[in-house]
């Protein structure tokens, strides 16, 4: 367990949320370049896996509406009480069906580490029952951006958003970890069946995912993950560990938001 994880239970949740908002763009530089990801006229942005809300708060300043889906009860309550007024917080786990599911957490953790998941791994020891939902079932409209961080449950989330993706053609920013789940099925679903193309940001410039071996990169830089968030933020010149992919409809590039001949925006 990292130093930050050991100290977290003794730090007020609101302080952790403030620190996350402050340092997260250094940990995940794509957040600092939100204009490359989220269209300027975004009606609805969706944050699946809100954690302490660094993405939700940034998105609230760019989209007219933000819907944050968070399965951990204490984090959902915190987000509902502390996020801007245009953020709607939904307590539940996004997947491909409605009902109830087991949400797995590390021992002694209440969601602070941000690694809760419907997919059990060796780091998980306890579970709580949470409501599960589909993005298609939320009745969302005019969706321009969706961020997904669900630690291994990406495919069910995408299957539960088929109608939304086909209708609105939003930008999809998805955390993909080869050490948790194979990356290829998600890439195949989005590229072959939905007509999307992946992009990554290993440095200052966006690269097509097809020209970047994400699994090899993650294997080579896996030691960075074990250092923990605090050390990774404070260590200068640390290697970049890329674990998120921006998927855009074919023909679009990061930062280019030309309207296509399909989707609700065109209509």
- Rounded CA-CA distance 160/98 in Å is 10
- Rounded CA-CA distance 110/112 in Å is 6
Sequence spans of domains, the chain: 3-250
Specify the pLDDT at position 115. Answer: 84
Do residues 175 and 183 make contact, with C-beta atoms less than 8 angstroms apart? Answer: no
> How is the beta sheet containing 99-105 ordered, strand by strand?
93-94, 126-133, 99-105
Q: Which CATH number fits domain 3-250: 3.40.50.150, 3.40.50.720, 2.60.40.3880, 3.10.310.30?
A: 3.40.50.150
- Sequence-separated contacts (24+) of 181-186 with Cβ below 8 Å: 181/119, 181/152, 181/154, 181/155, 183/214, 183/215, 185/155, 186/154, 186/155, 186/158
pLDDT-based confidence at residue 9 (cuts at 50, 70, 90) = low
pLDDT at 1 over 50: no
- pLDDT tens column, 150-179: 999 999 999 999 999 999 999 999 999 999
- Rounded CA-CA distance 206/190 in Å is 18
Query: Model-level pTM?
Result: 0.87
Do residues 179 and 226 make contact, with C-beta atoms less than 8 angstroms apart? Answer: no
Percent of the chain whose pLDDT exceeds 70: 83
For the chain, the first-to-last Cα distance in angstroms comes to 51
Q: Name the DSSP class of 191.
A: I
- pLDDT tens column, 179-209: 998 999 999 999 999 999 999 999 999 999 9
pLDDT at 93 over 80: yes
């Amino acid at each position: 367990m990292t130093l930050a994880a050991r100290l977290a239970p003794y730090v007020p949740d609101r302080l952790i949320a403030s620190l996350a908002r402050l340092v997260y763009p250094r940990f995940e530089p794509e957040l600092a370049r939100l204009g490359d990801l989220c269209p300027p006229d975004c009606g609805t942005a969706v944050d699946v896996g809100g954690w302490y809300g660094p993405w939700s708060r940034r998105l609230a300043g760019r989209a007219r509406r933000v819907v944050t889906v968070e399965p951990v009860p204490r984090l959902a309550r915190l987000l509902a009480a502390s996020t801007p007024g245009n953020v709607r917080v939904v307590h539940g786990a996004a997947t491909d069906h409605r009902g109830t599911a087991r949400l797995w957490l590390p021992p002694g953790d209440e969601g602070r580490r941000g690694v809760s998941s419907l997919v059990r791994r060796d780091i998980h020891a306890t579970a709580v029952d949470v409501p599960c939902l589909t993005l298609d079932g939320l009745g969302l409209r005019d969706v321009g951006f969706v961020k997904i961080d669900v630690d291994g449950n990406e495919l069910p989330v995408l299957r539960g958003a088929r109608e939304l993706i086909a209708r609105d053609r939003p930008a999809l920013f998805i955390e993909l970890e080869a050490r948790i789940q194979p990356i290829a099925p998600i890439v195949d679903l989005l590229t072959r069946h939905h007509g999307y193309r992946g992009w990554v940001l290993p440095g200052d410039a966006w690269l097509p995912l097809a020209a970047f071996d994400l699994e090899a990169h993650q294997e080579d830089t896996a030691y960075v993950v074990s250092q923990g968030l605090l050390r990774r933020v404070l260590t200068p010149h640390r290697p970049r560990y890329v674990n998120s992919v921006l998927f855009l409809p074919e023909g679009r590039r990061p930062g280019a938001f030309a309207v296509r001949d399909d989707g609700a925006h065109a209509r």
